[in-house]
Amino acid sequence: MATRHFLTLLDLSSDELSYLIRRAISIKNGLKTQGPTYTPFSNRTLAMIFEKSSTRTRVSFETAMAQFGGHALFLSSRDTQLGRGEPIEDTARVLSEMVDAVMIRTFSHQGLEAFAAASSVPVINALTDDYHPCQLLADVMTWTELRGHIRGKTAVWIGDGNNMCHSWINAARQFDFQLRVCCPEGYEPRQDILAAAGERVSILHDPQQAVEDADLVTTDVWASMGQEEEQAKRAADFSGFQVTEAMLDRAAKDVLFLHCLPAHRGEEISTTLLDDPRAVVWQEAGNRLHAQKALLEFLLLGRIES
């Protein structure tokens, strides 16, 4: 069987993604009732390459491998030969000889694709400048746990048309929901990604209008990793795009607020938004662990009906 990678949400079918969400919820329940007794990854190793910082992604992948009875290797580009110019394709071939899967957080999505093309073991995108698909597994899982199926619902993205926004657009395609992307002029998502999603995704520029009757509201930092120098300009350009409790009051009564974190209180969200009961970001962050377990299991062992 050909090696499966997870570089974007489009690498899996809608049916496979829905399976992953169900499986993640089932794995989470099993962990709660029985403890970490399910150990399908005895002696299996995940290499984790980080070229950018991380808290949630690193801890969730490393814990997932430990609880599954396997092992995770943290490889920072600074301390490996990657940082000294060894070609990524050579690194991919070498790691394929030794480990069972590779997780990468990097800048260039093309670089990730080049790595995956040379790898004979599954490669997982743990964030590039263009996409963050693992976060969307946890986000859709969180919605599903709390509200049921997301099909036909209306989600609103407020903020930058960035990697998270692109993955929300792909999620709207794959899970079949409506997405309103509300961003300042000049910060729209990539046109090709948007066009491929068709009528499910619309672009707006007025946050007050965008959140009207929404089932789900989400946002992200205004300056992503690698854009630190643009911070001041972006803070000015995004004025009026801060998500507040009053904004959520305009949404549906049972609206949920998600944020991939880390959050900047007082910038993209009000200082108290994460204390509002409509914000479910801690459950969302915790679900990274369970969603990634389901993903790793699927890529290494295939589908396990439950």
- Is 105 catalytic? The answer is yes
- Kindly give, in sequence order, each residue whose CB lies less than 8 Å from that of residue 21, ignoring residues fewer than 6 positions away: 137, 140, 141, 144, 291, 294
Q: In which element (H, E) is residue 178 found?
A: strand 178-182
Which residues, numbered 120-139, are part of the site for ligand CP (CB under 6 A)? Answer: 127, 135
Residue 186, number of CB atoms within 10 A of its CB = 7
**Which x/- pattern over 20-59 shows residues binding ligand CP (rule: CB under 6 A)?**
----------------------------------xxxx--
**Cβ-based nearer residue to ligand CP, 154 or 292:** 292
| Contact window for ligand NVA (CB under 6 A) among 66-74, 162-170, 177-185, 286-294 | 162-170
What is d(CA 242, CA 228) in angstroms, rounded to the nearest whole number? 19
56 is in an annotated binding site: yes
Closest approach, Cβ 127 to ligand CP, in A, equals: 6
Q: Is 225 in the site for ligand NVA (CB under 6 A)?
A: yes
135 is in an annotated binding site: yes
- Is 173 catalytic? The answer is no
Closest approach, Cβ 279 to ligand CP, in A, equals: 15
- List helix spans (H) across 176-280: 191-197, 207-210, 231-237, 245-249
Helix then strand then coil, % of the chain, to nearest 5: 45, 15, 35
Residue 221 interacting partner from ligand CP, ligand NVA, none (CB closer than 5 to 8 Å by kind)? ligand NVA
**Cβ-based nearer residue to ligand CP, 118 or 127:** 127
Structure tokens at 94: 């070498």
Contacting residue, 221, 256, 279, 280, with ligand NVA by CB under 6 A: 221
What is d(CA 74, CA 54) in angstroms, rounded to the nearest whole number? 11
What is d(CA 172, CA 9) in angstroms, rounded to the nearest whole number? 10
Is the bond leading into 36 cis (omega within 30 degrees of zero)?
A: no
Enumerate binding residues for ligand NVA (CB under 6 A). Answer: 127, 132, 162-164, 220-221, 224-225, 260
Enumerate binding residues for ligand CP (CB under 6 A). Answer: 54-57, 127, 135, 260-261
Where in the sequence numbering do the catalytic residues fall? 105, 132, 135, 220, 260, 288
